[in-house]
Amino acid sequence: MKIPDKIYLQVCMECDHEDCENCKFEDLECNVTWCKERIFEGDKEYVSKDAILDLIMDKRFELRGNLPEFEAGMHSAYDLLIKTISDI
C-alpha cells in the first residue's frame, strides 16, 4: 500500500478552535480521523518522516551536483539533519 506523504488529521471537528493550545493529542486519540485533503479549519497537517528525508536527500544531492565547491560544513549539516530526523 502506498501511504500518502502528507495527510490532514481531523482532531477538532466539534470545537470552536479558540482553545486549541490547551488540547492534548493523547486525549483525542480515539476521535482522530484523517484525510488527504484539508476538511476542517482546525485540521493539522502531518508530513511523513520518509517524505521529509527524501526531500532533504534530493536537495543535498542537487546542491552537491551543482556546486563544485560544495562546502564540507554544508555536507555535514545535511548529514546531521538526516540523522536527527531518522532517529525520531
The answer on 37 and 11 residing in a single domain is: yes
34: DSSP letter: E
SS3 68: coil
Q: Are residues 53 and 43 in the same domain?
A: no
Residue 1 in domain: no
Pair 43, 8: CB distance under 8 Å:
yes
Q: Tell me, what's the pLDDT at 28?
A: 66
Q: C-alpha angle 30/37/43, rounded to 5°?
A: 50
Do residues 43 and 57 share a domain?
no
**Domain span at residue 25?**
6-47
**Residue range 19-78, pLDDT digits in tens:** 666 777 676 666 778 899 999 887 889 999 989 988 888 877 776 665 556 565 666 777
Residue 43 falls within a domain, yes or no? yes
CB 88 within 8 A of CB 56: no
At 10 the three-state DSSP class reads strand
pLDDT value at residue 15? 62
pTM for the whole structure: 0.62
What's the whole-number mean pLDDT along residues 1-7? 89
